[in-house]
């Protein structure tokens, strides 16, 4: 019988919480990065694009280790934030949010950037000639037209954050109730005699959640295509 234990429900709830927070925290930065890459030409643009997409090609353990070096309690950024704001990342769920956000950020930026690039610049120029400033044009013209792509990018970021393991376990370890996500829980159960059944239950849950996220992303991608191409 497919019945989840309280510990398994805790891992699922924590994974959803981390993925949702990571996605929404990443969104403003993703919008800014996507707009710069889509609309601006400057020296070093290719380098910036490469840095943003670096987490996709680096081993996740490397990303997690770099986060530990920079955002750990003894890291330059981590120690500064702890002393000034009280925010602690290492071995906390907030650190899992940071790791998941970093890993999902390239997918978020890429989807939004493609949406921005598909928008006819003449629509923005027309709004500008009517007296709207750049920020107002972005809010009233660019963002609404790119909304399906923005939502698709958010869903992809959420799906990536939901399944993240390497960077998270390297940066914040595998603490029950604090940083033990679905992926970490599955890994733990595979190391325990008799844990295969529980691991399989969580695998099924992870597949269902990831598949649902991909279906939603594909739906909004199609909506974006219909909007841009009039299909």
DSSP code at position 42: -
Report the predicted TM-score, pTM, of the whole model to 2 decimal places. Answer: 0.88
What's the pLDDT at 220?
72
- What's the pLDDT tens digit per position in 116-127? 888 877 776 676
Structure tokens at 2: 């497919």
Domain ranges in the chain? Answer: 6-225
The more confident residue out of 144 and 110 is 110
In this prediction, residue 130 has a pLDDT band, given cuts at 50, 70 and 90, of: low
Kindly report which listed range (27-41, 133-147, 163-177, 180-194) carries the lowest average pLDDT score: 133-147
- Of the candidate ranges 61-65, 92-96, 139-143, 227-231, the one whose mean pLDDT is the lowest: 227-231
CATH code at 6-225 = 1.10.3720.10
Closest CA to 154 of 113, 97, 105: 105
Q: What is the mean pLDDT of the chain?
A: 87
Phi and psi at 59, nearest 5°, equal -60, 135
Instruction: Yes or no: say if 177 and 14 are a contact pair by the CB < 8 Å rule.
Output: yes
For residues 156-187, one letter each, b for 16 or more C-beta atoms within 10 angstroms of the residue's C-beta and e for the rest, the string is: bbbbbbbbbbbbbbbbbbbeeebbbbbbbbbe
Q: What's the pLDDT at 2?
A: 67
Q: Is residue 104 over pLDDT 60?
A: yes
Task: Answer yes or no: are the C-beta atoms of 100 and 164 closer than 8 Å.
Answer: yes
């Amino acid at each position: 019988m497919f019945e989840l234990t309280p510990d398994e429900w805790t891992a699922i709830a924590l994974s959803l919480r981390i993925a949702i927070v990571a996605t929404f925290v990443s969104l403003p930065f993703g919008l800014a990065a996507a707009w710069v890459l889509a609309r601006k030409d400057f020296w070093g643009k290719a380098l910036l694009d490469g840095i943003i997409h670096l987490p996709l090609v680096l081993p996740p353990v490397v990303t997690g280790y770099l986060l530990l070096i920079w955002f750990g309690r003894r890291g330059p950024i981590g120690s500064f934030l702890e002393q000034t704001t009280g925010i602690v990342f290492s071995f906390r769920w907030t650190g899992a949010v940071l790791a998941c956000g970093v890993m999902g950020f390239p997918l978020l930026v890429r989807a939004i950037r493609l949406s921005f690039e598909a928008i006819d610049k003449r629509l923005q120029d027309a709004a500008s000639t009517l007296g709207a400033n750049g920020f107002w044009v972005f809010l009233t013209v660019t963002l609404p037209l790119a909304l399906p792509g923005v939502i698709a990018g958010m869903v992809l970021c959420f799906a990536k954050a939901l399944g993240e393991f390497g960077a998270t376990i390297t940066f914040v370890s595998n603490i029950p109730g604090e940083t033990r996500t679905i992926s970490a829980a599955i890994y733990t159960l595979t190391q325990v005699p008799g844990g295969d059944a529980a691991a399989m239950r969580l695998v099924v849950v992870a597949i269902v959640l990831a598949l649902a996220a991909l279906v939603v992303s594909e739906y909004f991608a199609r909506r974006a295509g219909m909007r841009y191409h009039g299909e």
